[in-house]
Amino acid sequence: MQVNTADFAISSTNVDGCPKTHFPEFAFIGRSNVGKSSLINMLCSKKIAHTSVKPGKTRLINHFLINNAWYIVDLPGYGYAKVSKTDRIEFEKFISFYILERKNLVCLFVLIDSRLPLQAIDAQFMQWLAENEIPFCIIFTKIDKLSKTELQKNMAHFEKQMLLTWEFMPGYFITSAEKKTGKEEVLDYIHENIVEYNKSLQSK
């Protein structure tokens, strides 16, 4: 799928502020600094999401309208150590409300740094998604920072760790915003999901 237009729509502090729409949407979440905003820019071939070397850059729910037909959502990162406990609880509430209540959320992409073994916070988060039956996929980021052999080794290790508690490895993509790796694959996956979503809307 081609991204022809990508425009910032709105920043919201809670799910009630998000666009009232039936357009399908795809949200990107993961630990702070994992590369969510960079990946969104890579998918759109445009610097629409703000990126930063410092973690904690994205603090709101940011909607971007794509091809006047669907949304990409840039979410704040979790697990940012410098956030106070009260802020973290508030944050977790507003993100979990968004995830649980957003009816047009078709798929959540959980971004994971390809250089790291499975982190407890990501494992807990994916567990919570599964318990709440939220459809998600993993996107491994920053693969340009690894050699082919290191990447293979890390992927095998990650899968082994997942399979200690999961019956199967969730679907995943391997990406680099730097080298534009995985762009077609992620966009094609989104396209397939949009087609399915629109079919299910019509049959209602």
Residues of the shown chain interacting with Mg ion in the complex, contacts defined by CB under 5 A: 36-37, 57-58
Q: Does 151 bind ligand GTP (CB under 6 A)?
A: no
Q: Does 35 bind ligand GTP (CB under 6 A)?
A: yes
User: How far is Cα of residue 84 from the mean position of the Cα atoms in its chain?
Assistant: 23
Query: Using CA atoms, how far apart are residues 194 and 201, in angstroms rounded to an integer?
Result: 10
Q: Does 154 bind ligand GTP (CB under 6 A)?
A: no
Q: Of the candidates 20, 125, 2, 94, which has an alpha carbon nearest to the alpha carbon of residue 63?
A: 20
Residues 6+ apart with CB under 8 A from 113: 31, 34, 35, 140, 141, 142
Query: For Mg ion, which is the closer residue by CB, 56 or 161?
Result: 56
Q: Does 161 bind ligand GTP (CB under 6 A)?
A: no
**Residue with the closest Cβ to ligand GTP?**
77
Stretch that binds ligand GTP, among 16-24, 51-59, 102-110, 130-138 (CB under 6 A): 51-59
Q: Does 63 bind ligand GTP (CB under 6 A)?
A: no
3-class secondary-structure state, position 51 = coil
**In contact, 39 and 30? CB cutoff 8 Å:** no
For ligand GTP, the binding residues (CB under 6 A) are: 32-38, 51-53, 55-58, 76-77, 141-142, 144-145, 176-178
